[in-house]
Amino acid sequence: MKRTRTALAAPALVLASALALSACGGSGSADGSSKDDKPKTSASPEKATDPAAELDRAVLSTSEVKGFTVRKPTKKYVFAASQDQIKLDEPVCAPISYATNQLPLGNPKAHLTRVAAGAEGPGAFTYVTLATYADGEAKTALAGLSKAVDSCGNGFTATSGKTNSPHTSVTAESVPAPKGADESVAFRTTTKHQGVTHTLRAQTVRYGDKVAVYYAVDAMAFAQTRPGNAKVATAVMDAQNAKLA
């Protein structure tokens, strides 16, 4: 029987994450100061604004959620390092592929990703991708995701390099927007691995010009070749939302 690489992307990511979760790297920011006593101009605050540093302050810290450890994901095992590395048979479905592969929606000024694991058992991961946008762009990004969820019910296939990531279905979920959020889009997708169906879930929340994408996978279900039914960790989402509201 001919063997294909279809449906390998999700297992490769989640299983590698299960084995390789570890803290790595750090973040830094630069600042400047004036050598004269002249009053600051109105442009000074803008020059001091660093979108990446702003997100770094807003994202969950390592042990901020009781029972969970929050880490940077291992870049070596990602499906795609950027949006332009993903090709789709249904281009309208691109936002769903980004949300389920730790990539930001739309065109943000900065973004970062963390993965939380621990309290919900081995192999249960909730990925958190934060992004900040120019005025109005965050709303546009969520509109694109909402359109994708409505249009991609029959599934789609994303390709990065020689690896395929097929989603056999996409379904909107009726989940209330968190308190203080401007809007929220929630959905689930299904994928098959070795003949077994796995359900993956995501919820995207917008606070002004910032967007948080929460994505849940059950790595242990892939490893044990049993049906998976991943759910976003409520404690992780609540803690992150509280820092954005």
DSSP 198-216: EEEEEEEEEETTEEEEEEE
Residue 182 lies in a domain: yes
pLDDT of residue 48: 58
Q: State if pTM tops 0.95.
A: no
Residue 42 lies in a domain: no
Residue 40 in domain = no
Chain mean position to CA 57: 17
Domain total in the chain: 1
Predicted local distance difference test score (pLDDT) of residue 242: 96
Structure confidence at residue 5 (pLDDT):
38
Q: Residue written as tokens 């390998």?
A: 8
Residue 67 maps to a domain: yes
In a domain, residue 146? The reply is yes
Domain that holds residue 78: 9-19+50-244
Please report, as a single letter, which amino acid is at residue 195: G
**Non-local CB neighbours of 56 within 8 Å, separated by 6+ positions:** 27, 29, 112
Give the span between the Cα atoms of 196 and 216, in whole angstroms.
17
Q: What pLDDT score does 77 carry?
A: 77
Kindly list the distances between the CA atom of residue 78 and the CA atoms of 45, 156, 165, 208, 234, in Å, as whole numbers in the listed order: 36, 19, 12, 28, 24
Q: Given this model, what pLDDT does residue 23 score?
A: 31
pLDDT at position 118: 87
Strand (E) positions, the chain?
69-71, 87-88, 110-118, 121-132, 156-160, 163-167, 169-172, 183-193, 196-207, 210-218, 228-229
Residue 43 placed within a domain: no
| Residue spans of the chain under pLDDT 70 | 1-48
Residue 75 confidence (pLDDT): 82
Q: Is residue 32 part of a domain?
A: no
pLDDT for 31 equals 35
31 in a structural domain = no
Output the domain CATH number for residue 71.
Answer: 3.40.1000.70
